[in-house]
Structure 1
Amino acid sequence: MSTLTEALAAPHLKRVLAVPGTPPFRFIAYLGLVALLVLAPVQVVAIHRQGERTEARRDAVAVAQRSVVALTTVSAENLDDDISRMMKDATPGFRAQFEKQATAFREGVRQGKVTSKGSVNAAGISSITEKKAVVMVAADGTVSNTVSSGPQERSYRLRVTLKRTDERWLVSGMEFVS
C-alpha cells in the first residue's frame, strides 16, 4: 500500500466506514452539500433584504432632510418656487393640510420680507416599517426679516413622518419638537 488511494481501498477501512448505524463518509458529504445548496439561497435572500432595508432607511432620511431644508430655506422673492420645492416630496394629504395654511404663510413671508437659509446638522430614523418611517432632524437656519435688526441664528428640531408610496418616501407630517 504505497498510495493513499490504495490505503482507502483497503478492506478494513471499507468495513469501518460501513459499520451499521454509522453513515458512510460519502453520505455525510452529500448531506453537507445538500444543506449548503438549500441554505445558500436563504442567505442570499437575507443579504438582499438587509440591503433593501438599508436603502429604505437611507432614502427616508434623505427625503426628510431635503424637506426640512426646503421648509427652512425661503425668501419673499422666490416664495412660489420655495413652496413648490417643499411640496415636491409631500403626500396629497400633507399637501392639502399645507394649502389650508398657505395663504397666511405667503402673506407672513412677503410682508415680513423674510429670508431664511436652512441646513441639516443631523438626522436619524426614529422608527421604520415597510410603509412608514419617522425621522428626527436637527437643523439650523439664518433668518432675516423686517422685524429683526440683522440675521438671527435659529435651531430647529423636527419629527418628519414619511409614508412609502410607489417605491418612494413622501412626507405625510412634519412637526417641531423640543
Structure 2
Amino acid sequence: MQQRSRRRATRAQGPAAGEVGSTAPQQTETAEEPQSTAAPTASPAPTAAPAPAPAPVEETAKIERPSLVKASTATTADSTPAASTPADSATAAPAGAGPDLPPSRPRVRTLVGAGGALLLVLALAAATVLLLRATTSAEDDARREAFVQTARQGVLNLTNIRHQTAAEDVQNLLDGSSGTFAEEFGAGKDSYIQVVQQAQVDSAGTIEASALERLDDNTGVVLVASSAKVSNSSSPQPEDRSYRLRVTVVDDGGRMTVSKVDFVP
C-alpha cells in the first residue's frame, strides 16, 4: 500500500528532473516544424544560435508554384476566347449586334436585276410618252396644214377662170364650198358665167403666201395673199391684180370646204 501511494504521489508531482531534461528537446523540434511551414516569411524569435531552415521554405515554394502555375494557366485560359464556329456565332450573336457583313452574291444579283428591270420600265414609259406627244404633235400639224391647203385651193379656184371653160370652172369652185359662200356664189353662178363668157375674161391666179390665223374645234381661219393676171376683150393685155383674202374653212366629218371668203383691204 505504501508503495502504491508513493507511485501515485510521484505521478501527481510530475516527472523527475532528469526526465524533464530529456523530453524538452523533443517538444522544441515538434514546435518548430509547424512554425516554419505555416509562416515561412516570418523571422523566428532571436536566439543565441538561430538555425535557418531552408528546406521547409523550398518545400513550401515547391508546393506553392504548381498552384501559381495553375492559377495563371486558368487566367490565360479564361482570358483567351475560345474559337467559335460560324454556327455558334450565328446562334449566339443577336440581330444587329455585330458589324454589317457584305451581302451575298445572289442577293446582289437580285438587286441589280430588279434595278435593271425598273430602269427598263421607266425607259419604256418615257419612250411611250414621247412617242404619244410626237404622234399628237404630228397629227396637229397635219390638221393645221389641211386647213391651210383647203383655203389655198379655194382661192386658186376663185382666181383661175377662162371664158371657154367658165361653167366647169364655176362648178369646180362650188364643189369645194359650203355654208355662206356656197349659198351666195351658187345663187349668182349663172350671171357670173354669162359675164365671163361675154367679156372673154381670163384670169390666172397664184398664191403668194398663206398662214393659219385661228383654229377652233372644226373651223379654221386662213389668211391668203394671191396675185393674178387678168385680161378681157377690152384689155387683151394681161393686168396684174393682187388680193388679200380671209378664208374660213370648216371640217365637216373629215371633208374640209370653204365656207366664207372676205376681201381684206
Bin for the TM-score computed over the shorter chain: 0.7 to 0.9
Using structure 2 for the length normalisation, give the TM-score: 0.54
1:155 aligns with 2:242: yes
- C-alpha change, 1:37 and 1:146, in structure 2 (3 Å) is same
1:61 aligns with 2:133: no
Matching residue's letter, 1:61: V
Q: Where is the helix percentage greater, Structure 1 or Structure 2?
A: 2
Pairing partner for 2:174 from 81, 87, 100:
87
Which digits, 9 at most, give the CA deviation of each residue in 1:25-56, with x for residues without a partner?
A: 76655544443343432322211111111111
Matching residue's letter, 1:125: L
Residue in structure 2 matched with residue 4 of structure 1 by the alignment: none
Structure ranking higher on relative contact order (CA contacts 8 Å, 6+ apart): 1
Q: Which runs of 5+ in 1 are unaligned?
A: 1-10, 16-23
Deviates more, 1:24-33 or 1:102-111: 24-33
Identity, % of aligned positions: 28
Matching residue's letter, 2:171: S
Residue in structure 1 matched with residue 127 of structure 2 by the alignment: 40
Check conservation: 2:247, 2:262, Cα contact below 8 A.
yes
Secondary structure (helix, strand or coil) at the match of 1:150 reads coil
Deviates more, 1:27-36 or 1:135-144: 27-36
CA distance in 2, matches of 1:160, 1:89: 13
Shift of 1:153: 0.6
Check conservation: 2:179, 2:260, Cα contact below 8 A.
no
Residue in structure 2 matched with residue 124 of structure 1 by the alignment: 211
Residue in structure 1 matched with residue 19 of structure 2 by the alignment: none
Shift of 1:101: 2.6
Check conservation: 2:159, 2:228, Cα contact below 8 A.
yes
CA distance in 2, matches of 1:49, 1:113: 49
Residue in structure 1 matched with residue 262 of structure 2 by the alignment: 175
Residue in structure 1 matched with residue 196 of structure 2 by the alignment: 109
Secondary structure (helix, strand or coil) at the match of 1:52 reads helix
Q: Which has the larger radius of gyration?
A: 2
CA distance in 2, matches of 1:93, 1:142: 27
Aligned residues: 161
The alignment's C-alpha RMSD in Å is 2.5
- C-alpha change, 1:106 and 1:33, in structure 2 (3 Å) is same
Q: Where is the strand percentage greater, Structure 1 or Structure 2?
A: 1
Secondary structure (helix, strand or coil) at the match of 1:134 reads strand
Secondary structure (helix, strand or coil) at the match of 2:188 reads helix
Shift of 1:114: 0.7
CA distance in 1, matches of 2:125, 2:219: 33
